[in-house]
């Protein structure tokens, strides 16, 4: 008798900076979603594929839901909200440290209109005293009919295996959508551009917040298996270009050096990375440039 195989799509939704990307990387066991302590780091839907012997779970890391201030922000919020209607289950993730906020209510109001199992995932439990956890759970459990409430630490992996077991148990029988060695639906070029963007956010702190995009201009195999990657960091102002390049090019060198390490881990080979910086004024409000940098209206 053929063994039953289960599969399903699971959205991870929540306010900015609750740990959605950290959870995705923990589950997949490899960095496919970028992480930063700045809100709204994730811009596109990123699918992480976990294939087991008897199941395949496709996790969708969505942009943090926030009040948009430009067309790019609008794209991000619509992307996250529309994902709710395309999945088999929803993980509504909250930050145990921050507790309930207006942004959560905005999401809860939208969840009322969705006929899918919704799990409340209380993340970052490693940062709070256990005594604070039960009152927080009590506060949320009356706000929605959650299928289950599961506290975790995505960073340390606490209780993540239990969460996966619960999800697998409740998944319906279904096909294997992706080959077992595929861990994401995004091409390598996209992941590489995101890894570079992560390092920009990390090194520039508050000076160059979210006004950057990274475009991979060229990627080719060179002699002895080394990969040449040429990428442009696009920003909105000349002053930001100066910050990104730094004195005698030191900032750009530091970004490139740190990004190259992660890219080499991803590709499993040596990488030669060339970075340029280009100014495109107000690109986040220009539809043509949003599409050029991968933010298409077709995605929402």
* Identity of the highest mean pLDDT range in 11-20, 41-50, 59-68, 286-295: 11-20
- Calpha distance 26→46 (Å, rounded): 14
Per-residue pLDDT, 40:
43
8 A C-beta contact, residue 71 and residue 287 = yes
CB neighbours (10 Å) of residue 69? 12
> Is residue 237's pLDDT more than 50?
yes
> Is residue 292's pLDDT more than 70?
no
At 43, is the pLDDT very low, low, confident or very high (cuts 50, 70, 90)? very low
For 158, which DSSP code? Answer: B
- Report CA 155 to chain centroid distance, whole Å: 14
Over range 220-235, report the average pLDDT: 84
8 A C-beta contact, residue 19 and residue 154 = yes
Rounded to two decimals, the pTM is: 0.62
8 A C-beta contact, residue 266 and residue 192 = yes
Over range 197-216, report the average pLDDT: 77
Per-residue pLDDT, 7:
93
Over range 220-229, report the average pLDDT: 80
8 A C-beta contact, residue 18 and residue 95 = yes
pLDDT digits (tens, 9 = 90+) for 120-146: 999 999 999 989 999 999 999 889 999
Sequence-ordered alpha helix ranges (H) in the chain: 20-28, 71-83, 102-111, 130-141, 160-170, 188-204, 238-245, 250-267, 287-292
8 A C-beta contact, residue 184 and residue 46 = yes
At 157, is the pLDDT very low, low, confident or very high (cuts 50, 70, 90)? very high
- Calpha distance 9→45 (Å, rounded): 12
Over range 156-168, report the average pLDDT: 96
Element (H, E) at 98: none
For 171, which DSSP code? Answer: P
At 6, is the pLDDT very low, low, confident or very high (cuts 50, 70, 90)? very high
């Amino acid at each position: 008798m053929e063994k039953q195989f289960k599969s399903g799509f699971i959205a991870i939704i929540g306010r900015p900076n609750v740990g959605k990307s950290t959870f995705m990387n923990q589950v997949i066991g490899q960095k496919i979603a970028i992480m930063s302590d700045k809100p709204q780091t994730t811009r596109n839907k990123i699918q992480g594929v976990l294939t087991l012997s008897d199941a395949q779970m496709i996790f969708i890391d969505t942009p943090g839901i926030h009040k948009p201030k430009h067309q790019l922000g609008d794209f991000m919020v619509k992307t996250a909200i529309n994902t709710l209607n395309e999945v088999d289950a929803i993980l509504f993730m909250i930050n145990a440290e921050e507790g309930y906020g207006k942004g959560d209510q905005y999401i809860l109001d939208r969840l009322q209109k969705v006929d899918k199992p919704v799990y409340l995932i209380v993340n970052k439990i490693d940062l709070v005293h256990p005594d604070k956890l039960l009152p927080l759970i009590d506060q949320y459990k009356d706000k929605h009919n959650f299928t289950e409430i599961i506290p975790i630490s995505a960073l340390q992996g606490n209780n993540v295996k239990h969460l996966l077991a619960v999800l697998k148990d409740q998944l319906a029988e279904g096909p294997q959508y992706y080959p077992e060695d595929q861990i994401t639906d995004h091409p390598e070029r996209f992941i590489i551009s995101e890894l570079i963007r992560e390092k920009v956010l990390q090194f520039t702190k508050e000076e160059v917040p979210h006004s950057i995009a990274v475009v991979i201009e060229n990627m080719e195999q060179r002699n002895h298996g080394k990969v040449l990657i040429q990428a442009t960091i696009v920003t909105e102002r000349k002053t930001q270009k100066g910050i990104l390049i730094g004195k005698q090019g030191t900032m750009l060198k530091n970004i490139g050096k740190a990004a190259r390490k992660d890219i080499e881990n991803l590709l499993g080979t040596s990488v030669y990375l060339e970075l340029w910086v280009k100014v495109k004024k107000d690109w986040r409000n220009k539809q043509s440039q949003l599409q050029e940098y991968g933010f298409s209206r077709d995605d929402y």
